[in-house]
Each structure stands twice: as C-alpha cells, then as structure tokens.
Amino acid sequence: MAKDVAPRRVLMLCGDYMEDYEAMVPFQALQAFGIDVDAVCPGKKAGELCRTSVHQILEHQTYAESRGHNFALNATFDEIEVRKYNGLIIPGGRAPEYLAMDESVLKLVREFSNSGKAIASICHGQLILSAADVVKGRKCTAYPAVKPVLIAARSYWVEAETTATCVRDGNLITGATYEGHPEFIRLFVEELGGTIQGSNKKILFLCGDYMEDYEVMVPFQSLGALGCKVDAICPNKNAGDICPTAIHDFEGDQTYSEKPGHNFTLNEQFDSVDISSYDALVIPGGRAPEYLALDEKVIDLVKHFMDSKKPVASICHGQQILSAAGVLKGRKCTAYPAVKLNVVLGGGTWLEPDPIHRCYTDENLVTGAAWPGHPEFISQLMVLLGITVSF
C-alpha cells in the first residue's frame, strides 16, 4: 500500500455524460495507490453529481451509448488552485465536446501545460487539449473520430494499433479508449514520480453475467495498472466471451437501481485454468453471485484459495459465494447490508459497513460493502500481495 499521507494530488476534469469507466477507474485506482484525487465540473460544487455514459463498440458503425452511474464530485471548480496539484486527468465521453468551449476550462488546462505538470487525457478528452492549443508539435492518440481535430491542432497524430493504445510525449499522456487504462494509469503514476514494486503477481477474477459494472472493471484495471497479470473467468464460458454487467446505483429509492452496464470480455477459460498458479482471487458483486453460489465448481475454486491461505477479496454481494462455500466460519466480514443474513448464517462475524465505503481485512480475506469502497478494497488487497506505490 502507498504511504499513509498521500504525497501527490491530482485534479480530474469532469462533465455530464463523460464516459463512466473513464471517470471512475482512474479516480478510484489513483486513490488506492495513495494519491489524492479532486473531481470538479464547471458550474458545479462538491457533493453535486455528474451523470455518466456507457460507451462501447457493438455491431454498429460507431459506439453505442446508454446511461451510466451518477458520479459524485468532491471539490468545487471555482475554488481550484492549480499550484496545489501535481497533475490533471481528462476523461472522455461526450462531456469534452462542450467543455472544450468553456474558456475557464481551457485556461485551467493551459496552466497545467505551461507548468509542465502531468496531463493524462483519454478518448474524446483530446478535444479539450486541442481547443486549449496545448498539443501543437506533441505526439497524441485518441479515439479515431478525434483524429481530424488533433491534426488541425497541429499535433503529431499516432494511429492507435488497438483500442488499448497509449502514447507518452513528455508530461503528456494520451489514450485511445478505456481499454488502455492499465497502461494509461501506470504512465501517469510514473510521470507523477511514482515507483511500483512487488507487482509480479497473478490475480484471478471470478465473473458472471450481471456482476456489477464497477466492481469488476475498477479492480481489474487497477491491478493491471500495477503490473499484475489479471485473468477473468466465468463458468461455461471461454476466453473472448463476454459477460454483460449491471450498473447498481443509489438514486433515492429504497434499494439500488439497476441499468445495463458495459460488456466485460473474459480472457481465460474456466474449465482449463490452473487455479494453483494464481496468487489471489477477486470476487465482484452484483447479481452474478446469486447463481454462482449454486455452482459446485465455483465453490471448489473458492475453497482452494481460502484453504491455501491465499488472498481473497470479495465485495458487495460476492460474499454470498463465500457463505455458500462455508469459508466464513469464525471470520470477520462485511458486505452490502442486504447480504448480512448470508454472512451471519454462514458463521461469519458481521462487521457493519458504516460508512458504506468501509472495508475490512481478516487474515487473508478482504471484504467490502459496495463500489464506493474500492480505494480501500484495492489498497488492502495490495497489502496482502506485498505491492507498494512510492514517491
């Protein structure tokens, strides 16, 4: 885990309908690594929300869009002092189209650029860089549709070989899409002066249809950014198959709302994977654990990791699987509040998730209540794995 007092502080430039992953993954990953992240939006204050969008390539000529999570800002745009920050992050999505017309935004970006501070921009975020006139003579990539704008702004366009392509030119880091987050975030951490150690680990993710969108992708890409080999499997599916995800959000109702999320691509086959070769297991929440808990092969897999005393990190409804596997007896555990019954009946000692982002470690077991707790969830797993980020 990173130092107790974060040695770096960065700013994230947000707006309504920024891409869901492109905001939350770096926001939570960097916090897990010990970096303070302030998220701001012009015309909005700390505590207010930005709606996000889910962008993904399906069978159409361009990406599809649907509603994402609601992203809570934690700082106020009008109170920003650039001198207090070490770097700037610009998510993509549709927000950059109108943020690029806001002179207060462009002034902010120019201040970061002129001071030589780290700037990381992804996908359509490069529209803002172009409007701020900070890409002239700089190597850049972006989502392909942004190419004409970057060329007109006299940048050196770098064609993305894959959707995961990232380019670094001095203090400027640009990425094509959220598929490249692991390299995008790692390069940003390096530009901030960070050093990652102990990352030669293999991590297995236990996935299923309608697992929670953030609860799979945020830890998956965060651990990838640390240099871990991260594999995702699902019963009865092969590498290259997808699992649809669910967006669970808190919108004033008696329980969480659900919307369709991104499609998550698996990269290993469940039946042929050598589970003994992995150093840790991660179990996302959502609705998948309800039926995965009925699969004996899943139960055997979980028992292997727990019996071997290897780190197991489970969040939200993932603890339904732990309970079904009988591995919670005598263990301290939290979960989404509705899963308390499973934990107690499974013999676990219930730890109240108050506030909801609280996570706990009991020997080799890390448990969290919900996706707002990802920074704690990931950092506690990092401790068990012996991974550090230092500055």
pLDDT at position 3, please?
44
List, edge to edge, every strand of the sheet that includes 359-362.
Answer: 229-233, 202-206, 280-283, 312-315, 365-368, 359-362
Cα separation, 310 vs 130, whole angstroms: 47
Radius of gyration of the chain (CA): 20
DSSP 150-180: HHHTT-EE---SSTT-EEEETTEEEESSGGG
Cα separation, 51 vs 253, whole angstroms: 17
Indicate if 69 belongs to the active site: no
Cα separation, 78 vs 205, whole angstroms: 41
> Catalytic: which of 55, 317, 333, 359?
317
pLDDT at position 279, please?
98
CB 369 within 8 Å of CB 335: yes
Indicate if 123 belongs to the active site: yes
Paired with 225 in beta bridges are none
> Catalytic: which of 123, 166, 228, 333?
123
pLDDT at position 7, please?
78
Indicate if 317 belongs to the active site: yes
pLDDT at position 345, please?
96
Residue 75: CB partners within 8 Å, gap ≥ 6?
Answer: 11, 38, 39, 40, 46
Residue type, 22: E
Indicate if 316 belongs to the active site: yes
> Catalytic: which of 316, 333, 359, 374?
316
pLDDT in tens, the chain (391 residues): 444 445 799 999 999 999 999 999 999 999 999 999 999 999 999 999 999 999 998 888 999 999 999 999 999 999 999 999 999 999 999 999 999 999 999 999 999 999 999 999 999 999 999 999 999 999 999 999 999 999 999 999 999 999 999 999 999 999 999 999 999 999 999 999 999 999 999 999 999 999 999 999 999 999 999 999 999 999 999 999 999 999 999 899 999 999 999 999 999 999 999 999 999 999 999 999 999 999 999 999 999 999 999 999 999 999 999 999 999 999 999 999 999 999 999 999 999 999 999 999 999 999 999 999 999 999 999 999 999 999 9
> Catalytic: which of 55, 69, 124, 374?
124
pLDDT at position 2, please?
46
Paired with 71 in beta bridges are 50
